């Protein structure tokens, strides 16, 4: 996965290029930033994603301008970050974050084959809410055409991880340390449908993400 573009130069000891580390970070969250160039201008779009084996799946309305651009052999860069802690050091310059991040480069492809489109759409649902797709009816061909699905191979990528405390000189005049951060998901709120009552699915009651950034 390492290339000249993904090789980490600053704090190179924090770099990881192995598939298992990169996949684990991608699996823990589901929001990324897509960066590309359109008509000579840099664009950055936040969006949800899914990992399906060794590909990243992006989706949205066919009317979305950024998705239209990505279907034109457009090279993109995708970034993902999980913040694990706020590091308070002895000087302003040494304050930092503990984090896990991934950067990917590549040219995405539009998924056109109907079965592959359905599998990709299921992957999006399952990546965000595992277990949900089994409860949903299959979309009709016309419904499926209302979503554009794009696949990006996870072949040129790197991860960077900081997981240490303050690195500045010890101080006897100011507190130093780390404030750990977690991602918390609150109790589910059901949609109020008159005359209908549904049991809350287990995957909603005990919603969690893979990895250690859960409460």
**115-166: pLDDT as tens digits:** 999 999 999 999 999 999 999 999 988 888 889 999 999 999 999 999 988 9
165-191: pLDDT as tens digits: 898 777 778 999 999 998 888 888 888
Q: What is the pLDDT of residue 209?
A: 86
Residue-range domain boundaries for the chain: 12-205
Least confidently predicted of 23-27, 44-48, 71-75:
71-75
Output 80 or 7, whichever has higher pLDDT: 80
On whether the CB atoms of residues 135 and 125 are closer than 8 A, the answer is: no
pLDDT at 213 over 60: no
Residues 183 and 122: their CA atoms lie apart, in Å, by 24
CA 71 – CA 34 distance, rounded (Å): 14
Q: Is 73 exposed, middle or buried (0-12, 13-18, 19+ CB in 10 A)?
A: exposed
- Residue 213 vs residue 22, higher pLDDT: 22
CB atoms inside a 10 Å sphere around CB 125: 16
Say whether pTM exceeds 0.95: no
**pLDDT 10s digits, 77-111:** 999 999 999 999 988 888 999 999 999 999 999 99
pLDDT, averaged across the chain? 90
Distance of alpha carbon 135 from alpha carbon 125, whole angstroms: 11
Which CATH class, in words, describes the domain spanning 12-205? mainly beta
Q: How far apart are CA 95 and CA 81, in angstroms?
A: 18
């Amino acid at each position: 996965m390492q290339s000249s573009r993904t090789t980490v130069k600053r704090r190179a000891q924090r770099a990881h290029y192995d598939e298992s580390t990169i996949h684990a970070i991608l699996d823990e969250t589901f929001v990324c930033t897509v960066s590309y160039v359109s008509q000579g201008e840099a664009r950055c779009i936040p969006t949800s994603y899914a990992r399906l084996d060794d590909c990243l799946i992006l989706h949205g309305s066919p009317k979305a301008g950024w998705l239209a651009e990505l279907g034109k052999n457009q090279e993109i860069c995708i970034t993902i970050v999980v913040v694990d802690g706020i590091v308070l050091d002895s000087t302003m310059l040494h304050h930092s974050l503990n984090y896990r991040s991934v950067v990917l480069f590549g040219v995405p492809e539009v998924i056109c084959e109907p079965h592959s489109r359905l599998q990709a759409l299921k992957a999006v649902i399952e990546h965000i809410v595992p277990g949900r797709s089994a409860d949903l009816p299959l979309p009709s061909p016309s419904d499926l055409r209302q979503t554009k699905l794009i696949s990006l191979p996870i072949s040129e990528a790197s991860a960077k991880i900081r997981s240490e405390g303050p690195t500045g000189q010890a101080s006897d005049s100011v507190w130093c340390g780390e404030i750990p951060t977690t991602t918390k998901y609150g109790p589910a709120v059901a949609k109020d449908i008159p005359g209908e009552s549904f049991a809350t699915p287990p995957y909603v009651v005990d919603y969690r993400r893979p990895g250690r950034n859960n409460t």
